[in-house]
Structures are given as structure tokens and as C-alpha cells.
Chains A and B, each alone.
Chain A
Amino acid sequence: MTSSIKAKQLKTAFFSALLVLAVAYPILGLKLNIVGIKLEVHGASAPVLWTIFACAIGMFFWQLFRSQLGNAWDAVPKVPGVPSSATNFLTLPSTQRWFVLALVVVALVWPFFGSRGAVDIATLILIYVMLGLGLNIVVGLAGLLDLGYVGFYAVGAYSYALLSHYYGFGFWLCLPIAGLMAALFGFLLGFPVLRLRGDYLAIVTLGFGEIIRILLRNLTELTGGPNGISNIDKPTLFGLSFERKAAEGLQTFHEYFGIAYNSIYKVIFLYLVALLLVLVALFVINRLLRMPIGRAWEALREDEIACRALGMNPTVIKLSAFTLGACFAGFAGSFFAARQGLITPESFTFLESATILAIVVLGGLGSQLGVILAAIVMILLPELMRNFSEYRMLLFGALMVFMMIWRPQGFLPMQRPHLELKQ
């Protein structure tokens, strides 16, 4: 190895180490503390400082010996990976359909044996599955990046909450209304914006999500402002309430069947309602995918210019995907309001949008099984890692970057229906 290459490597290594120090030391190594009314700067604890220092040294040596290490790594015999036939099998639409079916059967049976807390978390997961499936239409199938999906979720939630609060409408009546309201908002927002290129859409929808939240927070007379709306009615089973004491004109579930009151009935019922909504969403989306409109979504995602050339109207196709996605968010929102009993504008921040987007992306754009699995992972992991809860979002961000670099197609992408010419 010539000395000039060596010198260049040394320079790069030194520069990289300095970069690590410049990035890590000021933010992690120094701390702004409020002392009285003044701000003071203190160093972080010794282990933190040593870690930063060690990282810089590590970076230096890694950059210095990178090519040698790379050669050594290539020489190591590789562990055989997952055979391609297995991946092929797992990503086939027919396999995934069976997987979904199996999941549904499991989901139907287990709540009767699960604990109350577990069923509750499962209900939350189902809400995110629903949101993920809805966003999957917009992002995964039609290829439109929507960063304000939570806005439609909020519209759905507040539609039910307000109708129930002011007019006493029940859940089952409000569910379609909430979906329609969210779809209407999607239509009104999408109409002007969808004629534009994709990046603008991302930012306009982001702005829309924020506008909705700001309006909900500030229209205090109507929406209760930052305190939100509380005491939202739970869904009923054909008029049977699951509370201990029924409201006037209603009968309770345990009285009607003559069994003792148990609060777990309510939890399981909510879970089953959520499951029903998810199944309806799955069914509708699966049917739509086989219709011309579903095919048009995917075609548009792949090549907009070719679609135009074939005489399709991109605006109408995009608008249908956008509106339908918003509609599912509305359903999920009204169920969320019913389950929580209390909604505030702070439930609908950009972070929610990012979480839903992460579910769609991690699952594999366009794949419904992927969305379901990703929703389970994304909601269950933080619940299991309660000890790490403060590092949760940090890991979440890092995971999003890492996934995009390592496996941009997601955990379980779905194969497109295609034919191959065997030679």
C-alpha cells in the first residue's frame, strides 16, 4: 500500500473522529440546567463522556482499517440466508391470504381466554391495523405520501364525539357519519392538491393535520378546547349497554341475559367491534383491489405518465384512493373516541401520523399482512419495553432510518400478480 493512500485514509479517519465528537459532545456531553432564573452549563456524567470519547476513537480506527476489515469480512464464510424459495412462498398473495385467515381465526377465539389488559391492548392494535390498512390504500397502493392522516382520524373521532355530546346519537349511527365526514374532508383537501406532484402533497397534508389540531384546540366553545370531550358513550349491542347501570330507556347486557355484571364483557365486546371493523376494511379493500379502480391505483403508482397515455384520469384515481383512505381513518377515529370515552386534540399529533406511516412502511408498502404484523410489533413492543419507554421514540426513529437502508420493501412485501415466461 502506498504512503499517499495511507495518508489519505489517516486524514479521513481523523476527520470522521472529529465529526463524531462535534455531533455528540455538545448535545450529549453538555447539559443546560436551570438554576434559579439563570441557565448554567454543566458537563454530563463521566460514563457519558467516556462513551462519546470511545465512539470517536472507535470511528477513527474503523475508518483507518476499513478496507482491510472489509476484506477480512468477505473472507469469512457466509451463514446461509433464508432461501429465496421461502421468501418467494411467503410473499405470494395466496399464502398471505391464508396467513390473514389464520390470524383472523386466532383473533376471534383468544380474547375469551386472554386477560383483561391483553384484550385491551389488542383492541388498540386493531385500531392501528385499521388505520394502517386505510393509509396503505393511499401510500402503499396509490403511492401518495400522506403525512396528515391523523387529521382524518381526528375528524372521525370528533364527529362521533360531537354528535353524541350535542345530539345524543349512538355509536352505530355515527360510525358511517364519521366515515363520510372524514371522506368529505379528504375529498375537499385532495381536490386542489392531488393535481400537484407528490412532494407537495406530503407537505400540504402535513399542514392540514396541524390545522385540524390547532382548530380543535382553539374552537373552545364547540370542541372543548385543550380539555377535549369526555364521557363519550360506548357502543351498544342492539341497544344493550355494557355499563353496570343502563341509561334511561336502555337495558344492560348482563340483565338481559341474566348473568352477573363483569367489566370484562365490555372489554371483549369493544375488541370484537374493532375486529369486525378491521374485517370489513380487509374485505372491502380486497374486493376493490380486484376492481378496475384498484388496478388503476397500482398502475398510477408505478408510472403516472404511462397511465395518462392510456387515457386514465390521474386526478380522479388519486382522489378516490385519498377519499377512501380518509374514510377508513374516520371509522377508526369514531371507534377510538368510543373506546377512550375521552378525546383531546393532543391525541392527534404528527407523531401519530408518523407511527401509522411507519406501520405501513415497515410492513411492506401495499401488503396487508405486512401492515397487520407491523401494527402488532409497533404497538406491542413499546408495551413490553416499559422500562425503555423513554428511549422508545429514539429507537423508533433509528429503526425507520435503518429499515429504509436495509430493507426498504418492508418485513413482508406482497408480490404483484405477474406471469413469467419460462424459457
Chain B
Amino acid sequence: MPDIYHFLQQLVNGLTIGSTYALIAIGYTMVYGIIGMINFAHGEVYMIGSYIAFLVIAGLTMMGLDSLPIILIAAFAATIIVASAYGYSIERVAYRPLRGSNRLIPLISAIGMSIFLQNEVLLAQNSKDKAIPNLIPGNFVFGESTMNGVVISYMQVLIFVVTFLVMAGLTVFISRSRLGRACRACAEDIKMANLLGINTNNIIALTFVIGATLAAVAAVLLGMQYGVINPNLGFLAGIKAFTAAVLGGIGSIPGAMLGGLVLGVAEAFGADIFGDQYKDVVAFSLLVLVLLFRPTGILGRPEVEKV
């Protein structure tokens, strides 16, 4: 049954990419849920994360280290630290002074920040594509052969496992811990949370750091999966992830996870049907369709405008 195999293969590929979109999308959705702005520079944090991951991997390989677990742990740790630093600094420099102004203003500041970061990396690291070899070659084959069966590479397995762990961890953090409760309180009503003694400035900063951390994880995973990076990749990853967040219902964390997966699968099948170059067109058309028929997204709550 080759057709079934083909279908399953596309599904697996779609879910793999989709789960990383979901990771980036959570950063958008959490920030939007609390301060109601689109953090346009989030995609650039992801891009910077992938550069850090490549720096670590290339640096450690150069030093003659070839133990895979050490490289992986070092890459995740370094990327998370640097990306969080960026997430925090962006909030401090570009958004905090603008809190409480007209909605357009932080968004424009965010676009400026995004252009700034993209060009910072472009100037420091030049615009050439940088590539690393696949660190985890090999794959599982289900079915008769690679041509006639479903192929799941070890890398894809790693992506599934890591994203699942991270999302499970985040869910526990948000639902069980004190800080998580404070985050939810801020998303519900930031003024009230402030009155009840929650340091909302710290919670907002924390949201940016969490978002950056998840983007960093996605950056390491996708960087290793694709093996190629350049300073422009943040833009597309950013709008894709935002699309995923809107698909799932912006402001809702499970929604972002679901939206990412749906987007990834839709893109995989869309690329299969219309050709690879129309992958992005499929993603954006999906966004317009969802907004048309279900503006609050799949899991979003309808928002009541208060006067």
C-alpha cells in the first residue's frame, strides 16, 4: 500500500516541523496573552539561537570533542542562556518604555528591533549560508524498504522527544508553580494582578525569557534538522510561528501547540500537492481561511471588548 505509506510519511514530516513551530508559537502566544502585543522580534531570537547552536557545535567539534550527548547538552544550554538574555534585553530596551501607549507603537518598535537584530547578525557573521553535517545520521524504517515504507530519522525522533518534554514541562510549570500561577493571573487581568501584589514587570520579563527559551530549543533542533542557517531565516520562521499561534487561538498555550502541529501538517501536504515553492502560500492561505471562519482560532476564547 504505497499510498498509505506516502500519506503517513508526509504526516510524520509535517508533525516534526509542526512541533518546532509550536515551540516558537508559544513565545508569541504568551507575550500576546499578557501584554497584548505581537513580539515581532521573536523570530530573530530564534535566528540568533540557531547561530549560537552552530557556534557551539562547530567549536566543540573543532576542539576534538565528538561525544554526542555532551555536544547536545552544551548546545542546548548555551543557546538557552544567550536567547534568554536577548529575550530579556529586547523587552527591557524596546518594549518596557512603551508600556501603556497606543497599540501601534510597540509593534513598530518591535519591527525596528527585528531589523536591527537581523542586521547585527548579518554584519557580525556575514550573509553566507553556514552548514553543519548531520550529527545524528540514520533512521528507522517501517514497511518493506526506504522507498516503500515510512522513514523516521533519529533526528526526527529527537525533535519529538525534546519538544514533548519541553511542552510537558511548560504545562506543569504554568499550572502548578507559583510563578506559573502569577503568569496566568497576569494574562487574566494585569491591573488586578498588580493590585494583588504580583510584580507584573518581573512576570512580563519572565514571559519573554520563557518564550526565548522555547525558541532556543526549537533553534537547536531545527538547526540540526536542516543543517543550514543564514541571518534571514528568522523572518519566515517568525511569521510561520505567529500563524500557528493565531490558528490555535492567540493567548492560549495549548492552542499554540495544536496550531503548530496543524500548520506543520498542512504545509507538508500542501507542499506535496502544489509543489515545494508554494509551501508558504499554503500556510498563509490557511491563516486567512481560519480567520474568516473562526476568527478566535481553534481553541481561542471569544474576546469581549470592554468600554
Contact = CB atoms under 8 A, between A and B. Distances in A.
Interface of A: 19, 22-23, 26-28, 30-32, 34, 38-41, 44, 139, 143, 145, 147, 192-193, 195-200, 202-204, 206-208, 210-211, 214-215, 217-218, 305, 350-351, 354, 357-358, 361, 365, 390-391, 393-394, 396-405, 408
Contact of A398 (B37, B97, B116, B307): B116
A23 B287 contact: no
Interface string B37-61: 1100000000010011011001101
Interface stretch (B104-112, B150-158, B257-265): B104-112
A397 B113 contact: yes
B295 interface: yes
Nearest to B84: A22
Interface of B: 32, 36-38, 48, 51-52, 54-55, 58-59, 61-62, 78, 81-82, 85-86, 88-89, 93-94, 97-98, 101-109, 111-125, 128, 130-132, 235, 239, 242-243, 246, 250, 277-278, 280-281, 283-285, 287-288, 291-292, 295, 303, 305, 307
A393 B128 CA distance: 18
25 contacts: A26-B51, A26-B82, A27-B52, A27-B82, A38-B61, A41-B55, A44-B124, A145-B107, A199-B107, A206-B239, A207-B239, A207-B287, A210-B239, A210-B284, A357-B108, A391-B119, A396-B112, A397-B117, A397-B119, A400-B111, A401-B113, A404-B106, A404-B108, A404-B109, A405-B94
Contact of A193 (B101, B108, B281, B291): B291
A404 B112 contact: yes
B38 A202 contact: yes
Most B Cβ at <10 Å: residue of A200, A365, A391 = A200
Contacts of A40: 58, 62
Given A214-B280, A397-B117, A408-B98, 12 more contacts: A27-B125, A31-B125, A145-B104, A195-B295, A199-B103, A207-B239, A207-B243, A397-B112, A397-B115, A397-B118, A401-B109, A404-B105
A27 B125 CA distance: 8
B119 A143 contact: no
B287 to A, nearest CB: 6
Contacts of A22: 81-82, 85
Contact of A391 (B85, B123, B246, B285): B123
B55 A30 contact: yes
Contacts, number: 176
Tell which of B55, B81, B112, B118 has the most Cβ of chain A within 10 Å: B112
B54 A39 contact: yes
A208 B284 CA distance: 7
Residue from the set A28, A39, A399 with the largest chain B CB neighbour count within 10 Å: A39
A313 to B, nearest CB: 17
Contact of B58 (A26, A32, A200): A32
Given A40-B58, A394-B116, A139 B284 contact: no
B109 A215 contact: no
A7 to B, nearest CB: 19
Nearest to A198: B103
Contact of A394 (B52, B93, B119, B288): B119
Given A32-B130, A204-B288, A400 B109 contact: yes
A321 to B, nearest CB: 15
Contact of A23 (B89, B243, B283): B89
Given A203-B287, A305-B307, A405-B98, A27 B124 contact: yes
Contact of A214 (B88, B94, B125, B281): B281
Nearest to A44: B124
Contacts of A23: 82, 85-86, 89
Contacts of B130: 32, 34, 39
A293 to B, nearest CB: 21
Most buried by B among A215, A358, A394: A394
Contact of B48 (A19, A27, A147): A27
B242 A26 contact: no
